[in-house]
Amino acid sequence: MNLLLIFAGGGVGAVLRYLVSTRLNNAIDSGFPIGILCVNILGSFAIGVFAGIVSRETFAENTIIIPLCMIGLLGGFTTFSAFSLETIALLQAGKYMAALIYISLSLFLSIFVAYLGLILAK
């Protein structure tokens, strides 16, 4: 059941990412990827809201919100939201150095390997 919820949420999230990013990029023709930047910011805010809802005692046993909304919808919308939530968890646990390493490795290695993949594909 969880896989179906993730699948459904992921499809909706991917379509929303496309709609939001293309409409913003078309509306603000600046040559800057404003659409994806806004998607990442909105997704990070949304995962914070969902994490707050899930942490409430009344929602602790809800098995639909996490797979459908947090993993599926927001995972399809932007994986940056998961990165943000994991970074916050490290910071809240007082693991400041681990958070800094996680942020640095995530950003620099992801960009590097994307460039490496581009070079290898050519």
Q: How confident is the model at residue 10 (pLDDT cuts 50, 70, 90)?
A: very high
Residues in the chain, overall count: 122
Q: What is the mean pLDDT of residues 73-83?
A: 88
88: pLDDT strictly greater than 90: yes
Ranges 50-59, 73-82, 99-108, most confident: 99-108
Q: Print the domain residue range for 31.
A: 2-121
107: pLDDT strictly greater than 80: yes
Whether 20 and 73 have beta carbons less than 8 Å apart is answered as no
> What's the pTM?
0.76
Helical ranges in 28-68 per DSSP H: 34-55
**Predicted pLDDT at 87:** 92
Say how many domains are in the chain. Answer: 1
Q: Which residue has the higher pLDDT, 102 or 53?
A: 102
